[in-house]
Amino acid sequence: MVVFAGQGDARRSLSLLWRAEVAAPPRTGPGPKPRLSVDAIVAAAIAVADEEGMAALSMRAVGDRLGRTAMALYTHVPGKSELLDLMYDAVHAELPTSYPESDDWRAPLTAWAGEVLELYARHPWVLQVSQARPVLGPHEYANLDTLVRLLGATGLEAGTVRRLAGTLFPLVQGSARTVADARRAATATGSSDEEWWAARSAALTELVPDFAERFPAVVALEREAAPEPYGAHDGQEDAMPYPEREARETFRVGLGVLLDGIEAARAGRS
């Protein structure tokens, strides 16, 4: 499921994102003014999406969580499209916007990538929001501004910095998506990773006896660079699903190679 941001009214969405002064729509019914706020509605919506997924998100579900009707929310947020923009931007407020000054440009970039990975792992529904159209909110911009400043410390030209920013986000998102999928796979399918692999490995060995001859490079890689078995890590890592542990290690290695490439580009420039 992929959703696109920015589908609501442009002016109203941006006014809400940036908390500009916008007059609330006139009330047409009797009764006291609602005590709801945009922030309370957004927080409730994030909780719904975190706990139940994007498919469960609706104005009614958010209203139920707040003990109000869906209609009561529309005074503050015009609809689900605008709400999604607000949710997406709000979770990005959890990210740091500054890192300790250091001559080592790699350390803050590594820390930034790790922070974003954990953000996506906490809020996996964010990964379903397409990057084709940005939300254009203040916290989204703050995160981008932070990354651009960190990349700027490498001394590379602006065009290269722009493309590196566009490379880092998909790297983090891809790893985070695997982490999120690994965490929900057992619950969603009803079988553990061990059960799934045991059943299919046995069947594959029986049905494709010449597997090693047909795919020698894959088999050689598995033999020479097999992942460490359970029990080879501390308790926290052992508790991780195998695919999550692999995704995190792949992220660490991939990020390191990318940063090595940046170092090589800096050396070539100098």
Q: At what angle do helices 158-189 and 193-207 cross, to 10 degrees?
A: 90
250: tokens are 């792949």
Q: What residues does 150 pair with on adjacent strands?
A: none
Contact 86, 17 (CB under 8 A): yes
Q: Note the pLDDT of residue 242.
A: 87
pLDDT, tens digit (0-9, with 9 covering 90-100), for 13-46: 999 999 995 545 545 555 554 579 999 999 999 9
Q: How far apart are CA 109 and CA 116, in angstroms?
A: 11
The residue with tokens 């590594």 is: 110
Identify the pLDDT of residue 180.
Answer: 95
What confidence tier does 235 reach under pLDDT thresholds 50, 70, 90? low
| Per-residue tokens: 190 | 């009803």
Give the rounded percent of residues in the chain with a pLDDT score beyond 70.
Answer: 90
For residue 199, the one-letter residue type is A
Please, what is the end-to-end C-alpha distance for the chain in angstroms? 45
Number of H helices, E strands in the chain: 13, 0
Of 92, 80, 167, the closest CA to residue 134 belongs to: 92
**Mean pLDDT computed over every residue of the chain:** 91
Helix (H, G, I), strand (E, B) or coil at 221: helix
Contacts of 13 (CB under 8 A, 6+ apart): 6, 81, 82, 85
- The residue ranking higher by pLDDT, 231 or 39, is 39
Sign of CA dihedral 99, 102, 103, 106: negative
Q: Reduced to 3 states, what is the DSSP secondary structure of residue 129?
A: strand
44: tokens are 């409730």
Residue among 17, 22, 144 nearest 90 (CA): 17
pLDDT digits (tens, 9 = 90+) for 126-176: 999 998 999 999 999 999 999 999 999 999 999 999 999 999 999 999 999
Percent of the chain exceeding pLDDT 90 equals: 84
